[in-house]
Amino acid sequence: MSSTVKNILIVVGVLLLIGIFFVSPYNTMVSKDETVKKYWNNVETQYQRRYELIPNLINTVKGVANFERGVLEAVTQARSSVGSMKIDPNNLTPENIQKFEAAQSQMSSALSRLLVVSEQYPQLRATESFRDLQAQLEGTENRIGKARDDFNGAIQEYNTYIRKFPNNITAGLFGFAQKEGFKSEKGAEKAPKVQF
């Protein structure tokens, strides 16, 4: 075999090794990135479900005379804020997730106030539609928690993969950066004081 053919085979062999070294990790990173996006979409779907339940809840509550208007207005404002907050799964920056979470937290707080105030209205709690909506809302909150956990798990798996050697080289070359998931709210690490 001539030296030219040997040199060509060596170059082809080196190129194949380099290709294998980068191609497989790159494809896995793409897969894991798409999984993160899928789980983000699941999070948004559950928040959207909650968003769509709110008008029915408000209309049911409005039927009760003398219900606190301020509480209904707070829920309506929070819903409006949430409705305007959409994040493209390709732009899951810590800042965007923080803005999204702040809007959702405002909504959760407003809904909590609504449900607490509703306890003062036995005729409201006695209506079947209110009980059904309350049960649907509770189920949705559970699904939101599960979707957030799954999203954070996908991010953790993605981040672990791109930080491992030699994957970190491929990640750096192709722009795969670490992602951040949901974090607990400030003060959530402290147990609430319960007084009877």
What mean pLDDT is reported for the chain? 84
**Per-residue confidence (pLDDT) for residue 11, from 0 to 100:** 87
CA atoms within 13 A on the CB side of 153: 10
Task: Select, from the ranges 5-9, 93-97, 160-164, the one with the highest average predicted confidence (pLDDT).
Answer: 160-164
Residue-level length of the chain: 196
C-beta neighbour count of 102 within 10 angstroms: 13
Asked whether residue 110 carries a pLDDT value surpassing 50, the answer given is yes
Topology (CATH level 3) of domain 3-174: de novo design (two linked rop proteins) (1.20.1440)
Domain spans in the chain, listed from the N-terminal domain onward: 3-174
82-100 residue pLDDT tens? 888 888 888 888 888 888 9
C-beta neighbour count of 86 within 10 angstroms: 10
24-54 residue pLDDT tens? 899 999 999 999 999 999 999 999 999 998 8
Tokens of 26: 């790159």
**Per-residue confidence (pLDDT) for residue 37, from 0 to 100:** 95
State how far the Cα of 36 lies from the Cα of 151, in Å rounded to an integer.
6
Kindly report the pTM of this predicted structure: 0.78
